[in-house]
């Protein structure tokens, strides 16, 4: 077996575990909303049409925040269409996904769903076809207690108390030529600054997210962040990062090392933000909202929107079926996000239901967990306290896309109050079992509480409505502690969690 050595020491803390790292994303795209979270014909549907089985799975997944309503969809969205009496709401063409949105679900329904799901809402405003005034109007509708036209309209629509939304995204992917209302960095930076300034006149304590790059492959990557933050630094708190281009395309070794690329993304954006901070001579530091990330097979047929005169409601779109290798990569991307908890203050797995999602549903029928559900749920449940800087001594292997990558990647969290430690690790080897030896002598008295492994001899196994339990995290009986040293054997292409307590 290949030996790998890790060292844990509570003196080396990266920063606190942030609950907002475990956010998700609901966009009016495909079947995410309609027949996803909302399906009035479903046997479990409540009075608002929300599927209780999906609500249960959302809570089990451990989602902390949900970004809404987009995504590309938001750049053409008129929020007023989704409030008030249902019979007075217009159907609209959604240019982003060549679909029709009936506006049955809007701001009011989403806020009620968020309360039921026990998640914090994270709203996005349309800076594609709209601007400052519409953003301020939506803020007034959501957050002002009463006494104005829009706040009183909310009260008349059945919500006497403000929604008190704290996090707001100033548009979506405005660097992308595919975006409705696509802008240059200078155009968007000025608009973001003006919008943020006006929104803070209503509520100075908002947390505002400026659009960063839609990926490191964008030709404007880096320069986009520099220009946008030069314009809007004083008005925003975070800058977004989006990444989906990780997929297995016949090169499994590179795919399993995708977190190397996420590390580069986070570190590059952080460096750019800090350069603007230095130039402006400011104390305030801009952090990252990685508010769209996942594995996405963009070239599959289900990722192609309708075309021509076909404008369906809730078409099947982006319904990737994830396998074991995908779950290992998603777990590794979570390791990267936790490892950068000093700079990544929020993140959103995109998306929650049906659309490149951990949860799948049948219209009016069954729901089930995809393989990627499990690493997210475990990380959300067990990561507590502070993230520790883990020293990893592991052999490397060469990848075609990302250069040399360690065979094992890992991160750990430590809760000083309880003494609990959670170690999250992936084995990227395609063929070899690895023995991980952890030097935890600086944390005396530890014992193994639980050790689990998600793996399968066939890394292409995918869950279905008929079987989503054959491959799940299983007990790993090899985990032991002796004289402050933890040992565990992990199979190839695997996601592993070792929980330790005093």
| 470 burial type by CB count under 10 A (0-12 exposed, 13-18 middle, 19+ buried) | exposed
Phi and psi angles of residue 357, each rounded to the nearest 5 degrees, phi first: -130, 155
Q: What is the maximum span of the chain, computed from C-alpha positions, in angstroms?
A: 70
Token code pair at residue 492? 């190839």
Phi and psi angles of residue 56, each rounded to the nearest 5 degrees, phi first: -60, -45
Token code pair at residue 324? 């074991």
* Residue of 194, 231, 248, 292 with catalytic role: 292
In this structure, are strands 23-25 and 344-350 parallel, antiparallel, or unpaired?
Answer: parallel
Distance of CA 256 to the CA centre of its chain: 19
> Can 173 be counted among the known catalytic residues?
yes
CB under 8 Å to 372, separation ≥6 — which residues?
Answer: 294, 295, 322, 326, 327, 330, 358
Report the C-alpha dihedral over residues 264, 244, 123, 104, rounded to 10 degrees.
Answer: 180
Per the rule left: phi > 0, alpha: psi between -120 and 50, beta: everything else, 217 is: alpha
Phi and psi angles of residue 129, each rounded to the nearest 5 degrees, phi first: -100, -5
> Can 319 be counted among the known catalytic residues?
no
* Residue of 134, 140, 173, 225 with catalytic role: 173
Asked if 225 and 175 touch (Cβ cutoff 8 Å), the reply is no
Whole-angstrom distance, CA of residue 33 vs CA of residue 26 = 7
Q: Name the strand (E) or helix (H) holding 141.
A: helix 132-143
Whole-angstrom distance, CA of residue 68 vs CA of residue 370 = 22
Asked if 25 and 348 touch (Cβ cutoff 8 Å), the reply is yes
Q: Name the strand (E) or helix (H) holding 70.
A: none
Whole-angstrom distance, CA of residue 57 vs CA of residue 413 = 25
SS3 state at 60: helix
Token code pair at residue 418? 């309880």
Token look-up 């797995």 returns 349
Whole-angstrom distance, CA of residue 448 vs CA of residue 434 = 19
The residues annotated as belonging to the active site are 173, 292
């Amino acid at each position: 077996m290949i030996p790998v050595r890790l060292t844990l020491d509570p003196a080396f803390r990266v920063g606190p575990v942030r609950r907002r790292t475990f956010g998700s994303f609901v966009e009016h795209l495909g079947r995410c909303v309609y027949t996803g979270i909302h399906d009035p014909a479903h046997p479990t549907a409540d009075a608002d049409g929300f599927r209780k089985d999906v609500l249960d799975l959302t809570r089990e997944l451990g989602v902390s925040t949900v970004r809404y309503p987009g995504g590309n969809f938001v750049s053409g969205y008129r929020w007023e269409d989704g409030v008030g009496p249902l019979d007075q709401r217009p159907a609209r063409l959604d240019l982003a996904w060549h679909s029709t949105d009936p506006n049955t679900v809007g701001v009011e329904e989403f806020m009620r769903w968020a309360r039921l799901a026990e998640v914090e809402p994270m709203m996005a405003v349309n800076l594609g076809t709209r601007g400052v005034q519409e953003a301020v109007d939506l803020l007034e509708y959501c957050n002002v207690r009463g006494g104005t036209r829009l706040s009183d309209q909310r009260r008349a629509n059945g919500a006497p108390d403000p929604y008190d939304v704290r996090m707001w995204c100033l548009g979506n992917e405005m660097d992308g030529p595919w975006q409705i209302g696509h802008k240059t960095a200078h155009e968007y930076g000025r608009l973001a600054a003006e919008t943020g300034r006006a929104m803070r006149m209503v509520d100075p304590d908002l947390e505002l997210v400026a659009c960063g790059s839609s990926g490191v492959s964008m030709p404007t990557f880096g320069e986009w962040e520099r220009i946008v933050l030069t314009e809007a630094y004083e008005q925003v708190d975070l800058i977004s990062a989006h990444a989906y281009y990780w997929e297995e395309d016949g090169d499994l070794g590179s795919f399993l090392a995708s977190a190397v690329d996420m590390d580069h993304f986070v570190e590059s954006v952080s460096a750019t933000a800090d350069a603007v901070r230095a130039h402006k001579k400011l104390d305030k530091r801009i952090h990252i909202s990685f508010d769209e990330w996942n594995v996405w097979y963009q070239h599959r047929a289900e990722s192609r929107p309708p075309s021509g005169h076909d404008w369906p409601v809730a078409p099947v779109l982006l319904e990737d079926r994830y396998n074991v290798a995908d779950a290992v990569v998603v777990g590794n991307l979570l390791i990267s996000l936790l490892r950068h908890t000093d700079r990544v203050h929020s993140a959103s797995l995109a998306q929650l239901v049906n659309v490149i999602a951990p949860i799948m549903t049948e219209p009016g029928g069954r729901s089930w967990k995809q393989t990627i559900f499990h690493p997210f749920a475990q990380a959300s449940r067990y990561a507590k306290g502070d993230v520790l800087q883990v020293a990893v001594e592991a052999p490397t292997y060469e990848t075609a896309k990302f250069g040399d990558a360690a065979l094992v990647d890992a991160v750990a969290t430590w809760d000083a109050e309880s003494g609990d430690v959670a170690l999250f690790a992936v084995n990227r080897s395609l063929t070899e079992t690895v023995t991980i030896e952890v030097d935890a002598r600086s944390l005396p008295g530890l014992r193994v509480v639980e050790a689990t492994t998600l793996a399968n001899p066939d890394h292409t196994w995918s869950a279905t409505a008929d079987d989503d339990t054959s491959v799940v995290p299983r007990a790993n009986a090899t985990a032991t502690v002796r004289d402050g040293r933890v040992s565990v054997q992990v199979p190839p292409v695997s996601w592993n969690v070792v929980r330790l307590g005093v």
